[in-house]
Amino acid sequence: MPYTLIHHTGCGSSKKGLALLQENGIEPEVRKYMNKSDMLSESELRDIARKMGNVSPRAFMREKDAIKLGISDSASDDELFAAMAAEPRLIQRPIGINGAKAILGRPNEQLLDIA
């Protein structure tokens, strides 16, 4: 199964994460999730959370964008998954996925932990 990188081309950290993987001989399948045709579904977001160790979607949600969009601190995980699927800017990046594991690349070096 190929390494997949959930990537935003307009994000410096995401670009650095992609470059780091490539420098280490990993050519990931790049998922440009901000593009309408490549957006992540609720099911895919739930799968990422499961692969991260059954974490809450808050573990990979951009808090500052959640505040801007008026998402409540008391929102349920179901509400967060739905919001993130509808509004991809809520998703923190980059996220690496390799087989049964996923990791948030913050810092970017963590992307290598599942390579």
Q: DSSP per residue over the chain, as a string? A: ---EEEE-TT-HHHHHHHHHHHHTT--PEEEETTSGGGPPPHHHHHHHHHHTTS--GGGGB-HHHHHHTT--TT--HHHHHHHHHH-GGGB-S-EEEETTEEEE-SSGGGGGGG-
Structural domain containing residue 47: 4-114
CATH code of the domain containing 103: 3.40.30.10
Per residue in 15-33, pLDDT (tens digit) is: 999 999 999 999 999 999 9
43 is catalytic: no
Residue 1 in this model has a pLDDT that exceeds 90: no
Full-model pTM: 0.94
Q: Is the pLDDT of residue 59 over 90?
A: yes
Is there a contact between 28 and 105 (Cβ–Cβ < 8 Å)?
no
| Domain total of the chain | 1
> What value does the mean pLDDT of the chain take?
96
Catalytic residue (one of 3, 11, 15, 114): 11
Task: Output the CA–CA distances (angstroms, integers) from residue 42 to 23, 39, 48, 105, in the order listed.
Answer: 32, 10, 10, 21
Q: Give yes or no for residue 50 having a pLDDT over 80.
A: yes
Chain CA centroid to CA 86, Å: 14
Tens-digit pLDDT profile for residues 92-108: 999 999 999 999 999 99
Mean pLDDT over residues 53-75, rounded?
Answer: 95
What are 60's two structure tokens? 């990979």
CA distance 46 to 40: 10
